[in-house]
Amino acid sequence: MNNTIDIETFLELAESIPVIDVRSPKEFLHAHIPGAYNLPIFSNEEREKVGICYKEKGKEPAILLGLDLVGPKMANLARAAKDLAFNNKLLVHCWRGGMRSSSMAWLFNTIGIETNTLTGGYKTYRRHIKSYFAKDFKLVVLGGMTGSGKTEILKEIINLDAQVIDLEGLANHKGSAFGSLGQLEQTTTEQFENNFFKELVTLEIDKPIWVEDESQTIGKIWIPEEFFNQMRNNIVIRINVPKDKRIKWLVEGYGGFNPELLSDSILRIKKRIGGLNYNLAIEALEKNELENLVDIVLSYYDKTYQYGLSNRNQENLYTIDLNVIDHKRNAVKVLEFYRRLNS
């Protein structure tokens, strides 16, 4: 029997029952519920044909066209569903909980698979996660100039039983003009939000959640405004690491990349660092004077970060001096510093 269920029940059941997204491959590729399987009732081209038919001829002809297209595929769809079902159960959704999901749920139920569909479909899921980002989180923002080792400190903080959301890890980008180097291709912002929600919902909302200080964009990804506003208004712990230590750390992290990739990254910030500094940076790269190159680039990033901090609520801004790049030791120091602030 096919039942429609609300989003809370759907997500709870999805922890143990496979989710079938019956939207077209193009829709699924753009963004989907993490972990869902795509079993499209229509191909991209078929969905377009049905949509055109609906606009030009109306609902009934579009339904008949849809049936003509789906009919020959029903047996294969049923077999695929059997293979994906767990304990003979499935969850199904389409875009807005309409005919695509109800039709597939009917098919699955007909062959004996207990199937539930999501009321309102994927649109309901998207509304749900956007509202979740607006909840009142107790954020602790870890700040510091480029090369301070913030990401690595946060990874060590996880090992100390603190809650962390790795925004750069979720975005597949390290946040600067060089941030795509060594990273997987970025998803759409919508898929980032879906993946972000999956991580965030596992954390305890009434306990501190650590995040790295970011601008609202990480590469081409946008942090949800509902969450980003909270990042701007919560406590910031700024780690202050000497520039020479940061330069050494960045050379170790980026020096092994292809010089052409480094050159392309420098080109992206040419206007921001100015023509003279750009030429000096390229010259340093060509001579393999990487510390000099990083020094030139950091002058721009440091000024930009200082300007950003000046626009924050200074009452929420605290600084801790760290004299070495030692992620484990620095993580302990940062956590102790935060606990003293709250004792």
pLDDT digits (tens, 9 = 90+) for 164-223: 999 999 999 998 889 899 999 999 999 999 999 999 999 999 999 999 999 999 999 999
In three-state form (DSSP H/G/I as H, E/B as E, the rest C), the secondary structure along 132-165 is HHCCCCCEEEEEECCCCCHHHHHHHHHHCCCEEC
Tell me the C-alpha to C-alpha distance, in Å, between residue 82 and each of 32, 131, 294. Answer: 21, 34, 56
DSSP tag of 224: -
pTM attached to this predicted model: 0.92
User: So what's the pLDDT on residue 172?
Assistant: 96
Residue 1 clears pLDDT 60, i.e. is over it: no
Query: How buried is residue 90: exposed, middle or buried, by Cβ count under 10 Å (0-12/13-18/19+)?
Result: buried
**Dist CA 173 CA 221 (whole Å):** 9
User: So what's the pLDDT on residue 214?
Assistant: 94
User: So what's the pLDDT on residue 116?
Assistant: 96
**Spatial contact of 68 and 84, defined as CB atoms under 8 Å apart:** no
**Dist CA 199 CA 134 (whole Å):** 15
- Which of helix, strand or coil describes residue 89? strand
- List, for residues 55-106, the tens digit of each pLDDT value: 888 887 777 777 777 766 888 898 999 999 999 999 999 999 888 898 899 9
Question: Active site includes 94?
Answer: yes
Beta bridge partners of 222: 217
- List, for residues 252-280, the tens digit of each pLDDT value: 999 899 999 999 999 999 999 999 999 99
Q: Structural domains in the chain?
A: 3-130 (3.40.250.10), 136-341 (3.40.50)
DSSP 48-65: HHHHHHHHHH-HHHHHHH
In three-state form (DSSP H/G/I as H, E/B as E, the rest C), the secondary structure along 187-222 is CCHHHHHHHHHHHHCCCCCCCCEEEECCCCEECCEE
**Dist CA 330 CA 122 (whole Å):** 42
- List, for residues 273-298, the tens digit of each pLDDT value: 999 999 999 999 999 999 999 999 99
Which one of 94, 140, 209, 211 is the catalytic residue? 94
73-78-79-81 Cα dihedral, nearest 10 degrees: 120
**Dist CA 228 CA 133 (whole Å):** 9
User: So what's the pLDDT on residue 43?
Assistant: 80
Q: Phi/psi zone of residue 239: left (φ > 0), alpha (ψ -120 to 50 degrees), beta?
A: beta
Q: Phi/psi zone of residue 146: left (φ > 0), alpha (ψ -120 to 50 degrees), beta?
A: beta
Mean pLDDT of the 318-335 span: 96
Q: What are 193's two structure tokens? A: 């939000």
